[in-house]
Chains A and B, each alone.
Chain A
Amino acid sequence: MTTEKSENKERIGVYVCHCGSNIAGIVDVQDVAEWAGRDLAERGVVVSRDYKFMCSSLGQELIEKDIQEEGLTRVVVAACSPHLHEATFRTACSRAGLNPYLCELVSIREQVSWVHTDKEAATEKSKAVLSGGVERVIHHEPLEPLHVPIHPATLVVGGGISGIQAALEIADAGFPVYMVEREPSIGGHMAQFDKTFPTLDCSACILTPKMVSVGNHPNINLFTWSEVEKVDGYVGNFTVTIRKKARYIKTELCTGCGICQEKCPKKLIDDVYEAGLGYRKAVYTPFPQAVPKYPVIDRENCTFFQKGTCKVCQKFCPTDAIDFEQEDELITVQVGNIILATGFDLFDPRKVSQYGYGRLANVFSSLEFERLTNAAGPTNGNIVLRDGVTTPRAVGIIHCVGSRDRNFNNYCSVICCMQSLKFAHLVHERTGATVYNFYIDMRTAYKEYDEFYQRILEEGTLFVRGKVAEVTGAARSPGEEGRLIIQVEDTLAGKQRRIPVDMVILSAALQPRYDAKEVAHKFGISCSANGWYIEKHPKLDPVATMTEGIFIAGCVQGPKDIPTSVSQGAAAAARILGRIQQKEIALEPVRASVDQDKCSGCRICNSMCPFNAIIFHEDRMVTEVNPALCQGCGTCIAACPAGAISGTGFSDQQILAQIEGLLMVNFEHARVAELG
């Protein structure tokens, strides 16, 4: 149907920013401002100015003064991306008494000056996008932000070091925390390590005091052996359903004496805590310092649950704490904010089949090696071959297994270089074996990391720069017999090498949790294609997500070392504490809404919402969007075939007007070109 240009009664102010030379270096900003004042006057532009830095106080005052003196009803600022300064200019409008949502930011920096080199064309493009902004702003409506109260409690999902730090920060500030951990104990991967780089602190010694603090903290409600079942609600007011899996232990009676574990006749390989190297019982705590101290009965492996008889643990329990009748409990808690600190999984090195993991006995994964070196581990910290007794004479450590490899993960797993150096040190210290490190690039950024590298070099570890082609047991010479041969191109020496060793350690990549996407969906946040959770801004907002009220910390956001994980945990806590102190939060009113008359309940949009904001009313066969949950992403609006959903600030009318504004300028050019 024909679109006729709407009558415009608005008084529009246009402000074109130089951004120093960022914009003015490529765009003739003065020309753009003069053009808008002249050619867009009939579209309602009554003031048009250019200024060195619109975001400066003086720049903002220009706008405020014009609103008051010229009676502006709309403001268009042609400057940087709305991500940066939309809030600045909205606030300026607000100060001058104009509804902040009647301000439109047009990006002529990110979308024009930074991406073009032809000054004339860039100036013309700036005019076009500005014209689009002017047409669009005419259709803006005054909006009011939504205010929601913030519940003072916080949910922390994941009891690794990052989650522990976050929980303690919030709890110490005096606010309640619910921590949910799916394993029987908190501690995470850090609890599996013996030493931490670069200081070689004992991992357990620095971690367990914090674990104990979490366990004892009056403000922390700890749910281990539990998982989040469901999340409803929105920032400030989430309702979280936690499944507390049956432990089959009465925790109020259990003293954590360990007799049940000792007596349990069923012994099985511990794939989680011992990385498959050690054993545990069917009733177990993963490690002696576990928090909480209560064991769990692993139903899948318990003889009583599987065969109906046994109950040895019950017989021996001095406090009668074993309860085979226990069932899963569903517990509902109210929280205002959520921190996801669910960590990582180790890349399965079997996938790099040429390295022989799983096929060649003495090829170890990094996590297995961590357990080998751990004094509380299956070998009491003795570094020995798979036979459990032989000390290796030569050890090869391969970096970047599954990282920086197009076949697996393109990214760098960050910690592997330092971890491999730590391994080299431990092997050297405890066995005196010759140690080779096979690396592509050595990455030892951050405090005292490179010094650690120098130290390992001085200790005599040998470094071969090159990607290992193969680890094989097939000897070519008598000297190679019975050993593992590492075939590698030494790119510094420029030749192929075959290096026989007794043990190979694969520094495997850090990967997103196997169920990361599922969990992201449950909490309504977005994750990257490979499954790392996406932060709101990679530099300036690294622990928030696009979903209000959901924060991320630690490796769930991407591979990182312990100091960074701890910093993120604390940062997320600080963000949340700020929120709690404010008691309420103002939400952007950019929201989707469904026209109930137009909606026919086709349900195409129903599975679309990444924030679970869509509700379907079975009785009336219509869909509705919960405005407090909606983040205004527009996915459902695009999906709706009936055009029944529209987004505040992004109506069809606004977008079409903007396109028409853009084309008005470009058509002029096309016509000139045609005639010329």
Chain B
Amino acid sequence: MSANGKPKFAMYWAASCGGCEIAVLNIGEKILDFDANFEVVFWPVAMDAKYKDVEAMPDQSILLTLWNGGIRNKENEEIAHLLRRKSQILVAFGSCATEGCIPGLANFSSTEEIFHAAYDSISSENPEKLRPQYRTQMPEGEISIPEFYPTLRTLDQVVKVDYYMPGCPPESHQIASVIDLVIQVLQGKATLPPAGSVIGAGISTVCDDCPRQRNVKLVKKFTRIQALQNPDPTLCLLEQGVPCNGPATRQGCGALCPQAGAQCIGCYGPAEGVIDYGARLISAFASVIDSTDPDEIEAILDGIPDPAGQFYRFNLAGSLLRAGMKSWSR
């Protein structure tokens, strides 16, 4: 408890885009409840604070830390350990922290390829081809930047995580309900779920919330939704050949994309109990292909031109696969 008696709250971003922070602010007037119940002690995107301030706090003094972003470099890792030590409840918040998300797709590339893309490729404005160095001698002495790791790891691959909150970003109503829950726990009106649980989401899949009609599936062709001649707005997208990831994706978003006529891309991650989202989905899609002819099957599969992006867009780092072979070499 702080001087004003309110429990302390921290939020941190590692390798992420910042969308998770916006989602937190997007909870609307709930933020007032939040403010009434918590004292924010550390939140780089919202307030000024230094790492040394956190280091100075007693261990376990922060009640709740929401961590978004994957562990991409040494700084991320150090702060993960620091906040773990200082926090009672550490939540992997959002897809990057729970399963790697888009930054995790870099695990298919070597460090050199990543640097090339960032500093030398056609999209970079870097005529002198400068590359940042970990250590640089300056007149004032040596300065350093954090070391870049060969792979991106999820938060729980580095420190123990108490709860997971999926989504890219987590839906604001889900955030609000989690905050509500914590406040109720503080007031003794509710109990926390078992450690290691996924919070702010359901245990079933997106299909459970999707109003589209579902039948037995027999797919003769996979296609982009834009290429469908007469998309049926009431029929399951997968049945129409659109590779919708809804059947494998955790329930929580309210099936927003399929209702808007776009396939689910899987940002809420694997459903409860699924260990490797991509593998599950690959075997599920393979199961609905309506052919026994190897050549025809081959042709049907050509309708999924980017399997890594289709099946592992959000969870490569958190999958059993974790990374491609290239990332092994520095």
Q: Contact: A2 with B157, CB < 8 Å?
A: yes
Whole-angstrom CA separation of A366 from B244 in the bound complex: 53
Asked whether A652 and B287 contact (CB < 8 A) given A599-B204, A603-B214, A607-B217, the answer is no
Whole-angstrom CA separation of A598 from B238 in the bound complex: 19
Q: Using Cβ atoms and an 8 Å threshold, which residues of chain B touch A597?
A: 203-204
Q: Using Cβ atoms and an 8 Å threshold, which residues of chain B touch A640?
A: 280, 284
Tell me the nearest residue of chain A to B246, going by C-beta: A602
Let me know if A601 is at the binding interface, CB within 8 A. yes
Whole-angstrom CA separation of A608 from B283 in the bound complex: 12
User: Which of these, A600, A607, A641, A652, contacts B284 with CB under 8 Å?
Assistant: A641
Asked whether A604 and B288 contact (CB < 8 A) given A641-B281, A643-B280, the answer is yes
Let me know if A606 is at the binding interface, CB within 8 A. yes
Q: Contact: A644 with B287, CB < 8 Å?
A: no
Q: What's the least CB distance linking A663 to chain B, in Å?
A: 12
Let me know if B107 is at the binding interface, CB within 8 A. no
Q: Contact: B272 with A600, CB < 8 Å?
A: no
Q: Using Cβ atoms and an 8 Å threshold, which residues of chain A touch B246?
A: 602
Let me know if B164 is at the binding interface, CB within 8 A. yes
Q: What's the least CB distance linking A660 to chain B, in Å?
A: 12
Q: Contact: B214 with A641, CB < 8 Å?
A: no
Let me know if A664 is at the binding interface, CB within 8 A. no
Let me know if B106 is at the binding interface, CB within 8 A. no
Q: Contact: B283 with A638, CB < 8 Å?
A: yes
Q: What's the least CB distance linking B77 to chain A, in Å?
A: 15
Q: Using Cβ atoms and an 8 Å threshold, which residues of chain A touch B204?
A: 597-600, 642, 644
Q: Contact: A656 with B275, CB < 8 Å?
A: yes
Whole-angstrom CA separation of A604 from B318 in the bound complex: 25
Let me know if B205 is at the binding interface, CB within 8 A. yes
Q: Using Cβ atoms and an 8 Å threshold, which residues of chain A touch B274?
A: 641-643
User: Which of these, A1, A601, A635, contacts B207 with CB under 8 Å?
Assistant: A601
Q: Using Cβ atoms and an 8 Å threshold, which residues of chain B touch A642?
A: 204-205, 207, 247-248, 271, 274, 280
Q: B residues 274-294 with Cβ under 8 Å of A? A: 274-275, 280-281, 283-284, 287-288
Asked whether A600 and B156 contact (CB < 8 A) given A642-B247, A642-B248, the answer is no
Q: Contact: A639 with B283, CB < 8 Å?
A: yes
Q: What's the least CB distance linking A598 to chain B, in Å?
A: 5
Q: Using Cβ atoms and an 8 Å threshold, which residues of chain A touch B271?
A: 598, 641-644
Q: A residues 564-623 with Cβ under 8 Å of B? A: 595, 597-608, 621
Q: B residues 243-283 with Cβ under 8 Å of A? A: 246-248, 251, 270-275, 280-281, 283
Count A/B pairs, Cβ under 8 Å.
93
Whole-angstrom CA separation of A1 from B92 in the bound complex: 11
Q: Contact: A652 with B275, CB < 8 Å?
A: yes
Q: A residues 420-466 with Cβ under 8 Å of B? A: none
Whole-angstrom CA separation of A603 from B196 in the bound complex: 30
Let me know if B206 is at the binding interface, CB within 8 A. yes
Q: Using Cβ atoms and an 8 Å threshold, which residues of chain B touch A595?
A: 273
Q: Contact: A621 with B248, CB < 8 Å?
A: no
Q: Contact: B251 with A600, CB < 8 Å?
A: yes
Whole-angstrom CA separation of A638 from B248 in the bound complex: 12
Q: What's the least CB distance linking B277 to chain A, in Å?
A: 9
Q: Contact: B216 with A603, CB < 8 Å?
A: yes
Whole-angstrom CA separation of A1 from B272 in the bound complex: 12
Q: Which of A599, A603, A642, A644 gathers the greatest number of chain B CB atoms within 10 Å?
A: A642
Q: Using Cβ atoms and an 8 Å threshold, which residues of chain B touch A605?
A: 287
Q: Contact: B248 with A641, CB < 8 Å?
A: yes
Tell me the nearest residue of chain A to B157, going by C-beta: A2
Q: Contact: A600 with B247, CB < 8 Å?
A: yes
Q: What's the least CB distance linking A667 to chain B, in Å?
A: 16
Q: Using Cβ atoms and an 8 Å threshold, which residues of chain B touch A621?
A: 208, 214
Q: Using Cβ atoms and an 8 Å threshold, which residues of chain A touch B272?
A: 598, 643
Q: Contact: A604 with B273, CB < 8 Å?
A: no
What 0/1 pattern do residues 77 to 121 of B give for CB contact below 8 A with A? 000000000000000000000000000000000000000000000
Whole-angstrom CA separation of A639 from B247 in the bound complex: 11
Q: Using Cβ atoms and an 8 Å threshold, which residues of chain A touch B205?
A: 598, 600, 602, 641-642
Q: What's the least CB distance linking B43 to chain A, in Å?
A: 26
User: Which of these, B161, B164, B287, contacts A608 with CB under 8 Å?
Assistant: B287
Whole-angstrom CA separation of A529 from B281 in the bound complex: 26
Q: Contact: A641 with B217, CB < 8 Å?
A: no
Q: What's the least CB distance linking A620 to chain B, in Å?
A: 11
Let me know if B218 is at the binding interface, CB within 8 A. yes
Q: Using Cβ atoms and an 8 Å threshold, which residues of chain B touch A644?
A: 204, 271, 273
Asked whether A598 and B284 contact (CB < 8 A) given A621-B214, A642-B248, the answer is no
User: Which of these, A2, A602, A607, A608, contacts B247 with CB under 8 Å?
Assistant: A602
Let me know if B215 is at the binding interface, CB within 8 A. yes
Q: Using Cβ atoms and an 8 Å threshold, which residues of chain B touch A1?
A: 156, 161, 164, 196, 318
Q: Contact: B157 with A604, CB < 8 Å?
A: no
Q: Contact: A2 with B156, CB < 8 Å?
A: yes
Q: Contact: A601 with B214, CB < 8 Å?
A: yes
Q: A residues 387-421 with Cβ under 8 Å of B? A: none
Q: Using Cβ atoms and an 8 Å threshold, which residues of chain A touch B161?
A: 1
Tell me the nearest residue of chain A to B214, going by C-beta: A603
Q: Using Cβ atoms and an 8 Å threshold, which residues of chain A touch B156?
A: 1-2
Q: Using Cβ atoms and an 8 Å threshold, which residues of chain A touch B206?
A: 600
Q: What's the least CB distance linking B215 to chain A, in Å?
A: 6
Whole-angstrom CA separation of A638 from B247 in the bound complex: 13
Tell me the nearest residue of chain A to B210, going by C-beta: A600
Tell me the nearest residue of chain B to A614, going by C-beta: B216
Whole-angstrom CA separation of A139 from B270 in the bound complex: 23
Whole-angstrom CA separation of A642 from B208 in the bound complex: 11
Q: Which of A600, A638, A652 gathers the greatest number of chain B CB atoms within 10 Å?
A: A600
Q: Using Cβ atoms and an 8 Å threshold, which residues of chain A touch B248?
A: 641-642
Q: Using Cβ atoms and an 8 Å threshold, which residues of chain A touch B284?
A: 604, 639-641
Q: Using Cβ atoms and an 8 Å threshold, which residues of chain A touch B217?
A: 603-604, 606-607
Q: A residues 622-639 with Cβ under 8 Å of B? A: 635, 638-639
What 0/1 pattern do residues 10 to 44 of A give for CB contact below 8 A with B? 00000000000000000000000000000000000
Q: Using Cβ atoms and an 8 Å threshold, which residues of chain B touch A598?
A: 203-205, 271-273
Whole-angstrom CA separation of A311 from B40 in the bound complex: 97
Whole-angstrom CA separation of A642 from B274 in the bound complex: 7
Q: What's the least CB distance linking A516 to chain B, in Å?
A: 13
Whole-angstrom CA separation of A640 from B280 in the bound complex: 7
Tell me the nearest residue of chain B to A608, going by C-beta: B287
Tell me the nearest residue of chain B to A659, going by C-beta: B320
Q: What's the least CB distance linking B314 to chain A, in Å?
A: 14
Q: Using Cβ atoms and an 8 Å threshold, which residues of chain B touch A608?
A: 287
Whole-angstrom CA separation of A638 from B288 in the bound complex: 12
Whole-angstrom CA separation of A2 from B161 in the bound complex: 9
Whole-angstrom CA separation of A598 from B281 in the bound complex: 16
Q: Contact: B287 with A639, CB < 8 Å?
A: yes
Whole-angstrom CA separation of A639 from B248 in the bound complex: 10
Q: Using Cβ atoms and an 8 Å threshold, which residues of chain B touch A652?
A: 273, 275
Q: What's the least CB distance linking A513 to chain B, in Å?
A: 17
Asked whether A607 and B216 contact (CB < 8 A) given A598-B272, A642-B248, the answer is yes
Q: Contact: A600 with B270, CB < 8 Å?
A: no
Q: Using Cβ atoms and an 8 Å threshold, which residues of chain A touch B203?
A: 597-598
Given A621-B214, A640-B284, A641-B274, 16 more pairs with CB closer than 8 A: A598-B205, A598-B273, A600-B208, A602-B205, A602-B207, A602-B214, A602-B236, A604-B217, A604-B287, A639-B284, A641-B248, A641-B280, A641-B283, A642-B205, A642-B274, A642-B280
B residues at A contact (CB < 8 Å): 156-157, 160-161, 164, 196, 203-208, 214-218, 236, 238, 246-248, 251, 270-275, 280-281, 283-284, 287-288, 318
A residues at B contact (CB < 8 Å): 1-2, 595, 597-608, 621, 635, 638-644, 652, 656
Q: List 27 A-B contacts (CB under 8 A).
A: A1-B156, A1-B164, A2-B156, A598-B205, A598-B273, A600-B204, A600-B207, A600-B247, A600-B251, A601-B207, A602-B246, A603-B214, A604-B238, A604-B284, A605-B287, A606-B216, A607-B216, A607-B217, A608-B287, A641-B205, A641-B274, A641-B280, A641-B281, A642-B207, A644-B273, A652-B273, A652-B275
Q: Which 6 A-B pairs have the closest CB atoms?
A: A641-B248, A641-B284, A600-B208, A639-B287, A643-B274, A602-B247
